[in-house]
A and B are shown apart, each in its own frame.
Chain A
Amino acid sequence: MADDFIKTLKLFFYIQKSHFKTAFLSVGDALSNVVIMLINNLSFIFMWWVIFHNKGSINGWDFSDMLLLNAVMNNAFAIFALFARGIQALPEYIDNGSLDNYLVSPQRPLFMIATSESTFANWGDLLTGLICWILSGYTDLLSFALMIYASLCATAVLISYRLLVSSLAFFAGDTQKLGDNIFMAFITFSSQPASIFTGWYKVMFLSIIPAGFISLIPVMLIKTAALPVFLFLSGAAVLSIVISAAFFRFGLKRYASGNRFGVR
């Protein structure tokens, strides 16, 4: 078991090395894309600074909350885009049949699919996350630990959601665009000051489009360090992994039945 894990970890690093190699085939492009990503993110954060500077706070959220949100969200998105981006391409893999190549591999298909793509520019997101955390002022050790933990939980929710949406392709026709759109809406929701979603919006925000687990709850956890929030976030992370993995498995079973395509 442990042996298996170490082997998989080694393979993971080897795959990442290959992604680095691909990106650095053109060093100028790779680095300028990272810088542009950073500028892109910072211009959004500047925009929020303007709003908060004007209005003071929005429904109890101030600019430091927004910075914490951006720290967590950018970390989560970066980890997804760097190490699990292939999940986004799953509908395409199903449609053009390249999923078969992963199914005849001796590794777990989901591992092979997830690591099959990586966008180097998203290292810029990780940089953004770091900058936002430093600017937020929550730089003591406990806050740091909570920030890292919250980022990991947010990553779990984010990747699970993408997997769930991508797995729709096992059941319907061309769902690449639909999935991309739903996921983009999810990301857009999670990048707003979470305090603006109240009432039914908040319920939606923590269920169908679980963006609250990327923005609202992580920020709460870092600021309050409260045990119930910690448990709530951890529970959400575990639950979303379980649900999406089950859905993916179910989809894979359907794929193996061949009814998705019929005779080829």
Chain B
Amino acid sequence: MTETLLKYGAFFRAAFKQGLLNRGMLSGLLFFLFILLFIYNRLWEVIGIQDNNSSLNTIYIWYLLFAEMIILSLPKPDRVLTDDIRSGTMAYYINKPISFFLMRYAEALGSMTVSFLVMGGVGSLMTLSLTGVPPFEWRYFPLIIIMCWLSSAINVLFYCGIGLSALWLESTRTLAVAVERLAFIFGGAIFPLSIYPDWFVDIARWTPFYSVYYLTIKLVYDFSWTNLFEAAVLNSLWTVLIVGFVGFAYHHLNKKVNIYGG
């Protein structure tokens, strides 16, 4: 068990380091994050004045920051895995003592974590200067960060699964973009789902994005142990489903490689 962790930990660390060195990518990410925070802060400020509710932008911009930490930190593991399958690279790993899929997953987690942390750090300063202190109590902060990071890890796993679907699908990129859009809208990527109409939330509830994004990120301004519990249970449920799919696909893939040699 520890040996396995060390093994994949090495891939995680390598990707983490590489991500840290990619200054251009990180500064681009922070620039975009700033633009988003700035614009939507302005929007909620204006609406807040209209509604006589000065806490609107504090709540919604901290929410937006954590949402973007999950969304923007996603590398493109679907593309990597699809390329591996199409080019036959994965066949080279079949006789090595590592799981090819877990290796790629660990790498993607590494790059995700760099962006997640950098955006979290710098983004918090930006948000602090734009709107003031966060709406959560500091003692819950570690829990919120961990929950959001786990959501991000599920998100990465999800896109890895999309990458594996290259076994059956012609264009996995199209699927990935479509899913990105669904997540954007059903997960409440820019505005929390609480302002959406009920009928819409009822549909969203049936998608993984409802809990993995919205319920988890909502802890930022609406922390309670019940909410945390609800998000954790639903997220675990979706994780089991995704892992089931990935396991099935991976098994199928190995069989295919054994028969055709990649």
Contact = CB atoms under 8 A, between A and B. Distances in A.
Q: Which DSSP category, helix, strand, loop or mixed, fits chain B's interface?
A: helix
A89 to B, nearest CB: 17
A224 B197 CA distance: 32
Interface string B186-223: 00001100011100100000000000000000000000
Given A36-B181, A39-B178, A43-B185, A201 B32 contact: no
Nearest to A185: B35
A196 B49 CA distance: 11
A5 B43 CA distance: 46
A28 B195 CA distance: 37
B184 interface: yes
B47 A55 contact: yes
B195 A54 contact: yes
Given A33-B174, A53-B197, A59-B50, A193 B31 contact: no
A28 B174 CA distance: 10
Contact of A47 (B28, B39, B170, B185): B185
Interface string A209-233: 0000000000000000000000000
Contact of A50 (B174, B178, B191): B191
Contacts of A185: 31-32, 35
A58 to B, nearest CB: 6
Residue with the highest number of chain A CB atoms closer than 10 Å, among B24, B35, B184, B200: B35
B43 A47 contact: no
Given A53-B197, A54-B195, A43 B181 contact: yes
Nearest to A61: B46
B181 A197 contact: no
A47 B181 contact: no
Interface in B25-40: 28, 31-32, 35-36, 39
B174 A32 contact: yes
Contacts of A32: 171, 174
Given A36-B177, A185-B31, A188-B35, A28 B46 contact: no
Contacts of A149: none
A43 B174 contact: no
Contacts of A136: none
B230 to A, nearest CB: 23
A50 B171 contact: no
A44 B43 CA distance: 15
A149 to B, nearest CB: 27
B39 A189 contact: yes
Contact of A36 (B174, B195, B196): B174
Interface string A183-194: 011001100110
B185 A58 contact: no
Contacts of B178: 36, 39
Contacts of B24: 177
18 contacts: A36-B174, A43-B181, A43-B185, A47-B190, A47-B191, A50-B195, A50-B200, A51-B191, A54-B195, A55-B51, A58-B43, A180-B28, A181-B31, A185-B35, A188-B39, A189-B35, A193-B43, A196-B42
Q: Which DSSP category, helix, strand, loop or mixed, fits chain A's interface?
A: helix
Contacts of A192: 39, 42-43
Contacts of A195: 46
B37 to A, nearest CB: 11
A198 B197 CA distance: 30
Contacts of B185: 43, 46-47
Contact of A39 (B50, B181, B195, B200): B181
Given A40-B181, A43-B185, A196 B35 contact: no
A177 B197 contact: no
B171 A29 contact: yes
A185 B35 CA distance: 6
Interface in A1-59: 28-29, 32-33, 36, 39-40, 43, 46-47, 50-51, 53-55, 58-59
Nearest to A54: B195
A197 B42 contact: yes
Contacts of A33: 174
Given A29-B174, A32-B171, A184-B32, A58 B181 contact: no
